[in-house]
Structure 1
Amino acid sequence: MGSGKKKKGKRDKPKKTCCKSKPRCKRCPIRMLAEGRLDPADAKEIFAKERNRKQAKKAHLVVPGD
């Protein structure tokens, strides 16, 4: 049985699309970009989709690769 603890070195991976929920979940790519926890290479791939790019601009964030 698991102890319920998270591993120390583990990082949360972002979702592939933003679910547009408020407040944003901790895996939301927009939230991770705003907090600086999103790798630039991952951000470029995720925000290549129009829906994600639109949500990021609505949140007044600079989208990498744009």
Structure 2
Amino acid sequence: MSKKTKGKKKKPKAKCCVSDTRCQRCPIRMLKEGTLPQGYTVKKRKLVKAA
């Protein structure tokens, strides 16, 4: 049996793929919506740890 990840948030990608329609794991989209995990930010389309 496989367990489903019900209710878990997906981790953001390390780098934005620059697609026209932002994917669900896009760090830029997550930053804009405020769903990016605590302690992370986006610089030059890449996910980095906040200082």
- For the criterion TM > 0.5, the same-fold answer is yes
Percent sequence identity is 53
Determine which structure has more spread, i.e. the larger CA radius of gyration: 1
TM-score by length of 1: 0.54
Count of matched residue positions in the alignment of Structure 1 and Structure 2: 47
- Structure richer in helix, relative to its length: 1
Structure possessing the higher relative contact order (Cα contacts under 8 Å, 6 or more residues apart): 2
**Once superposed, what is the RMSD of the aligned Cα atoms?**
2.6
- Structure richer in strand, relative to its length: 2
Structure 1, unpaired ranges of 5+: 48-52, 56-64
Q: Which aligned segments of 4 or more residues in structure 1 are displaced greater than 3 angstroms?
A: none
TM-score by length of 2: 0.67
Equivalent residues in 2 for 1:1-66, closer than 5 Å? 2=2, 6-7=5-6, 9-41=7-39, 43-44=40-41, 47=42, 53-55=43-45
